[in-house]
Amino acid sequence: MKSHDKTSLLIHGGHVIDPAARIDAPMDILLKDGRVAEVAAPRKIKGADSRFDARGLIVAPGFIDLHVHLREPGQQHKETIATGTAAAATGGFTSVCTMPNTAPVVDSVEWVTWLRQSERGAVVSVFPIAAATRASKGAVLTDFAALQTAGAVAVTDDGKPILDDRVMREALILGGELNFPVVQHAEDTRMTADCSMHAGARSFRLGLRGMTAAAEASIVERDVQLAMQIPNARLHVAHVSTADALKALRRGKRNKSRITFEVTPHHFTLSDEDMRDYDSNYKMNPPLRSPADREAILAALADGTVDAIATDHAPHAHHEKEMEFERAAFGIAGLETALALAITRLHVGKRVPMGRIVELFTSGPVRCFDLRGRGSLVRGSFADVTIFDPKRKWTFDASKSLSKSKNTPFDGWQLTGKVMATIVGGKIVYTA
């Protein structure tokens, strides 16, 4: 914590990976007045108020998480903006997009404004995603233009789908006119009542009702179809988890429609076969899918189809998780393990180049939502930087997490790749 009041910071000796600027080389970076002032060959930049020694480390644009549940307003017993963004900083995220399925639902300009106020105590940048329909009831669209002007970066009814064909079409038309992404939680809830995991051999054996892959894929197929018909529509599909949904998305992308999507670390790391019996730390929505689905996601991450890795960080209090599996809340924490899981599973496990992994956390997310000035380190960008050690092995201890909630299946996991420093607006907000 050396440089909080100083105005310029030199990050030297590191290896810069900035996919948007096509940089993958040893470089020094000077941050000044909250912006990137200079990117140059090693030892070329002179004179800085303070220095960060990044030898042996990768220096990347600040990571962006498109899908985080910060639980404010109204659910502070699960998480607050302060605790959630502290966990985000630990995980290397300098920007997080927060979901509107709170109490009340963020469906108004007032709540979007409230989320962005400095009193919330955010450690990293928070970008609200507003509800797509009033109270996320799926019937009447919210005022997209006003929400966008107030600072929302997208709309969604996440936690629930926009199910009605007509409403989804209207949302994509209006979003298209405003250049505003509509984020779909793709689940045909008419097919998933009382379900608590993926439908397969495991759910049959455990006596748990299963969500079929078709319940996700059918909504994605419909939405891709709509997006291909509506000029300028911007469809973003959240937490894609099935091979069939990927097929539909590939078709939409080939058609040059403005379709983007994210996948989560848990869906590319685990399958339903990895679940410990009735351990609700393996319960999330969409659920852990079959090993074949997971392999399809890994392939799509490697071949460039996936736009972004997003955590779907979904903290819940102990008493909301430790109970009958079918009654426990859906969701797991994810901010602090995302990069390490990506490096461990994708880079070490599947030889995905480090540049591609950085892309999935930086320029990829920026392709999905308009986060101008972020996702790259070109001169003039926001001074958001994530510095990590790609080789460092460490063990995740959930009890030490900065999130209010500890609901994760990755407690005690040995991982490769550790965030060493997170810099937001030129200020170091986290060091390992």
49 is annotated as an active-site residue = no
Among 53, 110, 165, 322, binds other proteins (CB under 8 A): 322
Task: Tell me whether residue 162 or residue 429 sits nearer to Zn ion (CB atom).
Answer: 162
Task: Tell me whether residue 167 or residue 211 sits nearer to other proteins (CB atom).
Answer: 211
Of the residues 107, 293, 312, 384, only one is catalytic, namely: 312
256 touches other proteins by CB under 8 A: no
209 binds, among other proteins, Zn ion, none (CB under 5 to 8 A by kind): other proteins
Here the tokens at position 352 are 């995905």
Nearest approach, Cβ of 86 to Zn ion (angstroms)? 23
277 touches other proteins by CB under 8 A: yes
330 touches other proteins by CB under 8 A: no
Task: Tell me whether residue 289 or residue 356 sits nearer to Zn ion (CB atom).
Answer: 289
Spacing of C-alpha 87 from chain mean position: 13
Strand partners, 50: 9
Q: Write the secondary structure of 211-255 as one string of H (helix), E (strand) and C (coil).
A: ECHHHHHHHHHHHHHHHHHCCCCEEEECCCCCHHHHHHHHHHHHC
Q: Contact, 221 vs 249, CB < 8 A?
A: no
**What stretches of 108-216 adopt beta strand conformation (E)?**
125-131, 154-156, 182-184, 197-198, 210-211
40 binds, among other proteins, Zn ion, none (CB under 5 to 8 A by kind): none
204 touches other proteins by CB under 8 A: yes
Q: How far apart are the C-alpha atoms of 428 and 159, rounded to whole Å?
A: 33
22 touches other proteins by CB under 8 A: no
Residue in the block written with tokens 């505003």: 180
**What stretches of 254-353 adopt beta strand conformation (E)?**
258-263, 308-309
CB burial of 75-110 (b: ≥16 within 10 Å; e: otherwise) equals: beebbbbbbbbbbbbbbbbbbbbbbbbbeebbbbbe
Q: Write the secondary structure of 402-419 as one string of H (helix), E (strand) and C (coil).
A: CCCCCCCCCCCCEEEEEE
Among 139, 145, 323, 432, binds other proteins (CB under 8 A): 323
Query: Which span (46-54, 185-193, 215-223, 323-331) binds other proteins, by CB under 8 A?
Result: 323-331
Total count of residues recorded for the chain: 432
201 binds, among other proteins, Zn ion, none (CB under 5 to 8 A by kind): other proteins
Q: State the residues that interact with Zn ion by CB under 5 A.
A: 158, 185
Axis-axis angle for helices 213-229, 243-254 (nearest 10): 10
Nearest approach, Cβ of 287 to other proteins (angstroms)? 15
Work out the number of other CB atoms within 10 angstroms of the CB of residue 392. 17
319 touches other proteins by CB under 8 A: yes
Task: Tell me whether residue 178 or residue 206 sits nearer to other proteins (CB atom).
Answer: 206
Nearest approach, Cβ of 417 to Zn ion (angstroms)? 26
Nearest approach, Cβ of 214 to other proteins (angstroms)? 14
- By the 10 Å C-beta count (0-12 exposed, 13-18 middle, 19+ buried), 380 is classed as exposed
Q: Which residue is nearest to Zn ion (CB)?
A: 185
**Per-residue contact flags (x/-) with other proteins for residues 207 to 226, judged by CB under 8 A:** xxx-----------------
Binding-site residue total for other proteins (CB under 8 A)?
17
204 binds, among Zn ion, other proteins, none (CB under 5 to 8 A by kind): other proteins
Q: How far apart are the C-alpha atoms of 34 and 297, rounded to whole Å?
A: 36
Among 22, 46, 55, 205, binds other proteins (CB under 8 A): 205
Which sequence positions are flagged as catalytic?
Answer: 312
Using CB under 8 A as the criterion, which residues of the chain lie in contact with other proteins when the complex forms?
200-201, 204-209, 277-278, 319, 322-327
